[in-house]
Amino acid sequence: MMHLNLKQPLVLPGHQGNVVGSRSSPSLPAAAAASRRVAAGSSSRRHTMPRISCSATEEAGGAVSTTTVDKMLTVRATVEAAPAIGRMYATRGLDDIGDLFGKTLLLELVSSEADPTATGLEKASVTAFAHKTLVEGHFEAEFKVPSSFGPVGAVLVENEHHKECFIKEIKLVIAGDESSAVTFDCNSWVHSKFDNPNKRIFFTVKSYLPSETPKGLEELRKKELETLRGDGRGERKTFERIYDYDVYNDLCEPKKNPRPVLGGSAKYPYPRRCRTGRPKTSSDPMTEERKKTGHNYVPRDEWFSDVKQLTFGATTLRSGLHALLPALQPMLIKKELRFPHFPAIDDLYSDGIPLPPQTGFDAIRTVVPRMVKLVEDTTDHVLRFEVPEMIGRDRFSWFKDEEFARQTLAGLNPICIQLLTEFPITSKLDPAVYGPAESALTKELIENQMKSNLTVEEAIAAKRLFILDYHDVFLPYVHKVRELPDRTLYGSRTVFFLTDKGTLMPLAIELTRPQSPTKPQWKQVFTHGPDATDAWLWKLAKAHVLTHDTGYHQLVSHWLRTHCCVEPYIIAANRQLSRLHPIYRLLHPHFRYTMEINALARESLINADGIIENSFWPGKYAVELSSVAYGATWQFDTEALPNDLIKRGLAVRKDDGELELTIKDYPYAHDGLMIWDSIKQWAADYVNVYYKSDEAVAGDAELQAFWDEVRNVGHADKKDEPWWPVLDTKDGLVETLTTIMWVTSGHHSAVNFGQYHFAGYFPNRPTVIRRNMPVEEGRDDEMKKFLTQPETTLLDMLPTQMQAITVMTTLDILSSHSPDEEYMGEHAEPAWLAEPMVKAAFEKFGGRMKEIEGYVDECNNNPELRNRCGAGIVPYELLKPFSKPGVTGRGIPNSISI
């Protein structure tokens, strides 16, 4: 990588100011061929430019005096900038005057080298104002720089406007030599000096470990991190870039809808979120005031891009649904209204729902453009949903046992099924509180349902029995949920048998209601049965299991294990890893937009009385339940895909170190392991460029501080667990990085982008069940109604029209790819391109991802793989790496960006 290298011994007085760190990965300018120094790889591999100087020799008493005069070089800078889309402000006139006099942006060039005449001090910087040109967003500056300046390691920017501006890039070139031009790739917001007098800094794209930092940048590196950490005081302002931690104490208004604080206690452990610094409520000193207007603070560079703002965005979940749902006046009159029959559900995708004339069509169309349709030959509008792919392929698939089982391996939540290893099955909960621990799933019942010559013991030994177990995790909440209006809950266990064809066959479902002070424990096993009554009870039991799986998926597999648990990694990385650090630059693309979407979730999705609470069965216990799951099940080491599969008994590690899948045709695991291996190879190649030994990893102060903070602050409630990895070897670092990169990419994609495909037809994955099984209480009226019209009983159980439409609309939004999505292996960061070995490693990574893309297609067209290929089956594409924008059911973005 070329440095703009200006090399002769001279100290030039220059404008010096305070600096603030940058989250970007800027490019480093290059000098002319005859007057530049190359610094590709390490600082020792440099070609020093010729000295350009004028000398005069004087004789005085036999002494010779030589005076060296620096040659001043002209360096031109061009800046590409843009204001925020749609932002107008009262001080625009003052800014226009400033532009007229050429005082728009003050640029400051910083040398990587220390001053040789003042040991340990930086060289004086060189400054110039960038003036606005006739081209919109284009600014130019001209510097007079001594040729002794050395490599330019950073550019500082002071924004003279009264409002922030977005700096896309800064390009430096030596006058008269266009071949010297290179770019600082900034892509970052720069605050107004009137908001904050400290300058922004954009570092060179060349990455440095802390011990290898050029002398001229050492103090800058430290100051930048100090600025990003802040002092932990005061309410954060929108233009700031401060990263700090807090507990989840801003989800409710305590007087109106109290909720427990999550994080910081043994009862409710939780990862930490970004600190906003808002004051506490007057009614509860532990709860933070909710934002009345605007949105929750996140550091400015974590905000959605303008493209994403316009196509997704912030407006969609913040205000869009609030504009859409009130427009459906007929349903708001009676929120509990259920669908009268299944054809009425089908009408959502054909006729649609008429929107009242007073509806703001343009606003709604912006929110859900796929759904608002203009009726042909009229001016009437309807809300009409797209047909989900699984219903488009087979409208009756949701009713079938084989699809019910298949989706545990190739559906929206393929990460909860486990190998059954012990029998009889028993609960680990206190029988004195919840009732007898023994399961009602008996040996005789399982063997009868297997329809084979195997005993239960033989089937377990042969790894043919599997279980979806939501018994112990949900049983403590059964009575709490049942106190909520129109909701019910059981603890459930579902047992599956692996057939000779590699598919799963559901054998039995056990539903349990724990004992209470007034009633004994109730449990019953349901099977498909030989008659109509048993067959319909089986269908109702499946609906209960599906809602359990849907709730666990959304709150644990999706929200907790990706969005929530990743946020501490982002905060710690920005606080402890300099923008110059190679590991920061590796991880940075995997953190894009996550803090913003999480802040949105706290506003509208997981908050008290938000979309999740109103539409999913846990109600006000929703996020609390994810806290319980975090405390009971979350481990960093088993977030690694291979370790997760081994833990669940879905894979074993052979003597040669390779994984062998227990179910050969397990689409999520099969495709996921290809993605995992590809990421791991990329991480290993990258780490090997910068770390030459295990000692270098262990001795990296910034890296160790980052990981210490992840464990002891970001995940403080788990800090004493023995499974935390120690980053003291290259292999350990690679495994840890791969885990983080997998969770933010493959794991999240597998549980997110199929939401509309699989749950857009809500009977396939109901978010709430409102009625108990008709056989639970033995009431004659319930049984008579069920026996007369079992379909009506099922419809009574399913979500209301408002619940269904709210969830379907939300899932359509959350399943969509933005036009500016960045997919794994597709886009190289400038810092990666600056290092030839890293660039080559990334190109190989991108090539592997393209190969995986083709291999996934081959698998989906292989009739031997019955869990992903067959009549009416949705091919498994959730781990297919690339996608176009929109709701596609495929594509692996780098980050959790929605």
Catalytic residue set? 558, 563, 748, 752, 898
Residue 461 tokens, joined: 């030994």
Residue 159 tokens, joined: 């924004």
Phi then psi dihedrals of residue 470, to 5 deg: -115, 35
DSSP letter (8 states) at residue 438:
B
Query: Are residues 595 and 570 in contact, defined by beta-carbon separation less than 8 angstroms?
Result: yes
Closest listed residue to residue 607, CA positions, set 253, 244, 236, 245: 253
Phi then psi dihedrals of residue 108, to 5 deg: -140, 120
Query: Are residues 651 and 659 in contact, defined by beta-carbon separation less than 8 angstroms?
Result: yes
**How many whole angstroms separate alpha carbon 526 and alpha carbon 739?**
39
How many CA atoms does the CB half-sphere of 704 hold within 13 Å?
Answer: 11
Query: Are residues 146 and 111 in contact, defined by beta-carbon separation less than 8 angstroms?
Result: no
Please state, in angstroms and as integers, the Cα–Cα distance from residue 706 to each residue in 578, 685, 710, following that order: 10, 21, 6
Please state, in angstroms and as integers, the Cα–Cα distance from residue 169 to each residue in 28, 103, 416, 427, following that order: 11, 18, 45, 60
What sign does the dihedral 360-366-367-368 (CA atoms) show? positive
Q: Which amino acid is at 215?
A: K
DSSP 704-746: HHHHHHIIIIITGGGTT-TT-----SHHHHHHHHHHHHHIIII
Beta bridge partners of 58: 65
Residue spans of beta strands (DSSP E) within 290-415: 353-354, 372-374, 381-383
39-48 contacts at long range (C-beta below 8 A, 24 or more positions apart): 39/1, 39/2, 39/3, 39/5, 39/151, 39/206, 40/1, 40/2, 40/834, 40/835, 40/836, 41/835, 41/836, 41/837, 42/212, 43/212, 43/214, 48/7
Phi then psi dihedrals of residue 482, to 5 deg: -65, -15
Query: Are residues 1 and 16 in contact, defined by beta-carbon separation less than 8 angstroms?
Result: no
